[in-house]
Amino acid sequence: MAAVQAGDADAKRRLYEEYGPHLLRAVRRRLAPRMRSAFDSMDFAQDVWASFFAASADKYDLTNPGQLISLLRAMARNKILEAVRQRVKGENRKPVRENSLEGLLDGGVHLPGPEQTPSQFALDEEAWHTVFASQPPVYRCILLMLRDGKSHETIAKELNVSLRTVQRVLNKLNE
């Protein structure tokens, strides 16, 4: 601790590496599950470290590791309480509060789906025609039937080829 108080950067790094996990655990235990979507645990931990290292060297009388852990936990608790107070105080004044996506969907809001835009459709069509034109006739027949929604078994029967041939064509195209 004396080296940290003297401003030794290496000592500060070792302190951070050794006690960082304890601090992060303390923050996560203290932060309520409903608040975890609004706050990042690591932000609180970094804020505690910033306050700890910014304080004057003689501010804390730490003689053992237990005292350091207790101090870091208390600082984390205070930082979290202050942030939650600010958030609750601000929410009372805000006309619109945060809503989860699930809540929006239950309310009938429609999120954009996987439908293609016209430009995506045009690009896909162009790619299809490029691949299709470079295939032998049997492959073309298989591809057209697949595009029409026919099953592999139906294609094999109608073209009088084995099911394995249909699958091989698809595997070759996916390479």
Instruction: Sketch out the chain's domains with CATH numbers.
Output: 2-94 (1.10.1740), 118-174 (1.10.10)
Tell me which range, 38-42, 112-116, 138-142, is most confidently predicted by mean pLDDT.
138-142
DSSP letter at 113? -
Handedness of CA 129, 130, 131, 136 (dihedral sign): positive
Give the pTM: 0.48
Q: Quote the pLDDT of residue 112.
A: 58
The confidence band for 111, taking pLDDT boundaries of 50, 70 and 90, is low
The answer on pLDDT for 105 being more than 60 is no
The answer on pLDDT for 16 being more than 60 is yes
Q: How far is residue 125 from each of residues 58, 142, 143, measured CA to CA in Å?
A: 72, 17, 14
The confidence band for 57, taking pLDDT boundaries of 50, 70 and 90, is low
Which of 167, 175, 127 has its CA nearest to residue 146?
A: 167
**Higher-confidence residue: 103 or 42?**
42
* Burial call 90-112: b when 16+ CB within 10 Å, e when fewer: eeeeeeeeeeeeeeeeeeeeeee
Query: Are the beta carbons of 135 and 143 closer than 8 angstroms?
Result: yes
The confidence band for 110, taking pLDDT boundaries of 50, 70 and 90, is low
Q: Quote the pLDDT of residue 33.
A: 78
CA distance 168 to 175: 11
* Burial call 38-56: b when 16+ CB within 10 Å, e when fewer: ebebeebbbbbbeebeeee
Angle at which helices 137-147 and 163-174 cross, to 10°: 90
Amino acid at 74: A
Tens digits of residue pLDDT in 133-149 = 888 888 888 888 888 88
Q: Quote the pLDDT of residue 154.
A: 92
CA distance 126 to 39: 46
